[in-house]
């Protein structure tokens, strides 16, 4: 079944391209991550539907007849979240009193500190697991700008979709579309607020946070190229951004202001002449 869908050396058949998506290694479009080894066989496959989360993909020396494929991704691991508002405080007190009595009975002044610490640590973690309910963090809401309102709307939208698909009623379908539009609107608003909060106060006070966010954005070619625009060779083109991440940022806005300057001002031969021209004209 699978012999026609496995890479054999450097060759890539049409069947391979049909069944396996193109690996993403933040390389230029049209390139594959295919590594040759001693037997000319690729024994490791990494498939993902989120190529923007892949940072590195390269071979490392292995201990056998093939190399190891090293993958570095930005996938966040699930975390255990304790629900403290549902904790049983009365049971915690009872177990803590029993822990106190057991500790005094088991150890004395000559007992090793390491053994005492391990006993306290293990007992406290056991009490925590038994008296405080917990849940695993969801991978659905991994964006930092997602708030409780968006989570609530998303769950309502999901329930309304399941109901509309089951009942086929127009009223349920209309409710799903309303919740879908409200969720999308709230997500965009929260995203804009998050970006403004990073750029405005944090860019000078904490630039590390700003550039850390830039690194998490999917790779997009955001270079500018000089081109003939409206008969002028000194204008610059702003590449189209699929999202609003760069559309309202400082860099494209500066290019738009430059493109709106009068041609004599753009053709200034010195910095002083350019400054004088800026002061004497109105810039939108």
Q: What is the DSSP string of 38-56?
A: TTSB-------S-GGGEEE
Q: For 2-14, b where at least 16 C-beta lie within 10 A, e where not — what string? A: eeeeebeeeeeee
Closest CA to 256 of 247, 264, 265: 247
1-10, 174-183, 223-232: which has the minimum mean pLDDT?
A: 1-10
Read off the pLDDT band of 90 (50, 70, 90): very high
Alpha-carbon gap, residue 28 to 16, rounded angstroms: 20
The three-class DSSP label of residue 173 is helix
Read off the pLDDT band of 284 (50, 70, 90): very low
For the segment 267-281, what is each residue's pLDDT rounded down to a tens digit?
778 877 877 777 666
The three-class DSSP label of residue 136 is strand
How high is the pLDDT of residue 131?
93
Mean pLDDT of the chain: 72
Q: At what angle do helices 170-199 and 207-216 cross, to 10 degrees?
A: 140
How high is the pLDDT of residue 266?
74
User: pTM of the full predicted structure?
Assistant: 0.40
* Maximum C-alpha span of the chain: 91
Q: Are 259 and 282 in contact (CB under 8 A)?
A: no
How high is the pLDDT of residue 104?
92
CA distances from 196 to 85, 92, 145, 148, 246 (A): 33, 44, 11, 19, 12
Read off the pLDDT band of 9 (50, 70, 90): very low
Read off the pLDDT band of 130 (50, 70, 90): very high
The three-class DSSP label of residue 135 is strand
> Residue 46 has what DSSP assignment?
-
53 vs 162, higher pLDDT: 162
Rounded average pLDDT over 101-112: 91
Q: Which long-range contacts (CB under 8 A, 24 or more apart) does 7-16 make?
A: 7/34, 7/41, 7/42, 8/40, 8/41, 9/36, 9/40, 9/41, 10/34, 10/36, 10/40
141-145, 241-245, 251-255: which has the minimum mean pLDDT?
A: 241-245
> Is 65's pLDDT higher than 60?
yes
> Is 8's pLDDT higher than 50?
no
> Is 4's pLDDT higher than 70?
no
> Residue 85 has what DSSP assignment?
G
How high is the pLDDT of residue 269?
80
Q: Are 33 and 23 in contact (CB under 8 A)?
A: yes
Alpha-carbon gap, residue 99 to 91, rounded angstroms: 12
How high is the pLDDT of residue 213?
64
């Amino acid at each position: 079944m699978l012999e026609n869908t496995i890479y054999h050396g450097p060759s890539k058949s049409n069947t391979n391209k049909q069944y396996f998506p193109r690996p993403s290694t933040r390389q230029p479009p049209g390139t594959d991550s295919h590594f040759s080894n001693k037997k000319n066989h690729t024994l490791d496959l990494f498939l993902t539907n989120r190529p923007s989360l892949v940072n590195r993909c390269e071979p490392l020396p292995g201990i056998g007849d093939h190399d190891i494929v090293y993958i570095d991704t930005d996938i966040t691991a699930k975390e255990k979240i304790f629900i403290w508002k549902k904790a049983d405080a009365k049971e915690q007190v009872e177990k803590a009193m029993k822990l106190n009595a057991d500790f005094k009975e088991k150890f004395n002044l000559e007992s090793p500190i390491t053994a005492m610490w391990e006993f306290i640590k293990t007992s406290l973690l056991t009490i925590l697991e038994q008296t405080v309910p917990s849940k695993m963090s969801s991978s659905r809401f991994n964006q930092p700008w997602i708030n409780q309102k968006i989570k609530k709307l998303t769950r309502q939208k999901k329930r309304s979709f399941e109901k509309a698909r089951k009942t086929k009623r127009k009223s349920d379908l209309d409710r799903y579309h309303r919740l879908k539009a409200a969720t999308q609107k709230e997500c965009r608003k929260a995203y804009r607020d998050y970006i403004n909060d990073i750029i405005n106060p944090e860019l000078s006070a904490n630039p590390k946070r700003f550039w850390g966010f830039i690194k998490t954005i999917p790779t997009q070619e955001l270079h500018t190229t000089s081109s003939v625009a409206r008969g002028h060779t000194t204008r610059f083109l702003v590449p189209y951004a699929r999202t609003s991440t760069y559309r309202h940022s400082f860099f494209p806005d500066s290019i738009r202001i430059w493109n709106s300057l009068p041609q004599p001002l753009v053709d200034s031969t010195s910095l002083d002449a350019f400054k004088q021209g800026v002061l004497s004209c109105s810039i939108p």
